[in-house]
A and B are shown apart, each in its own frame.
Chain A
Amino acid sequence: AQTVTQSQPEMSVQEAETVTLSCTYDTSESNYYLFWYKQPPSRQMILVIRQEAYKQQNATENRFSVNFQKAAKSFSLKISDSQLGDTAMYFCASVIIQGAQKLVFGQGTRLTINP
């Protein structure tokens, strides 16, 4: 069974600061992907970044980067130079690359960027 845990229900930082959101996961499978999704007040689900488990290099997308620690089953998201538009719920998720490929989501972290 897959589980994803986000232990920070809420976080708040000042604009332009760097913030790190934590995520741990558990799976017995070897072929899986990890994701961070952003859900702004509009409630759209927006893919922020994806990490393939077989890749050692941490994924980066502009101001967003991850720290993927496979042995520790940790997958944190770092947002650099935070902007007001980054205010949203952030969900960590995992998927096993076989069968139905169901996404399993964490509980979410509500991030507020203050001006």
Chain B
Amino acid sequence: GAVVSQHPSWVICKSGTSVKIECRSLDFQATTMFWYRQFPKQSLMLMATSNEGSKATYEQGVEKDKFLINHASLTLSTLTVTSAHPEDSSFYICSAREPSLDQPQHFGDGTRLSIL
């Protein structure tokens, strides 16, 4: 089946640094990828829709300058948390959708981000 790889799975860094998370579709081309944030014991919250070759579409309330998204190829989208602070600590999950209209999204295994 289709596989989405997300890296790193866990990152700890100091406040003020920038962190990049990668999301790769391994065996299909994904024109659209999605980035979610999940707080403990809560549901997934869509942050942005990443479109290959164009700017990402951010959900209301998500700071585009804080969460930079780049979808430079059909198999890779990246989320960069810029100047990270402790309140950015969370679980981030990506998903990718196959081009066919009725294909489900495939999820990465998530990244646990801890900002000290």
How many B residues, CB 8 Å from partner?
21
Contact assessment for B104 and A108 in the assembled complex, using a CB-CB cutoff below 8 Å: no
Q: Are A101 and B97 in contact (CB under 8 A)?
A: yes
Name B's interface SS. Answer: strand
Interface-facing stretch out of A16-24, A42-50, A68-76, A77-85: A42-50
A108–B43 contact, CB under 8 A?
Answer: yes
Determine if A11 is an interface residue (Cβ-Cβ < 8 Å).
no
Of B41, B43, B97, B102, which one neighbours A105 at CB under 8 angstroms?
Answer: B43
Chain A contacts with B in 81-115, Cβ cutoff 8 A: 91, 95, 97, 100-108, 110
Interface residues of B (CB under 8 A from A): 32, 34, 38, 41-44, 46, 49, 57, 91, 93, 95, 97, 101-102, 104-105, 107, 109-110
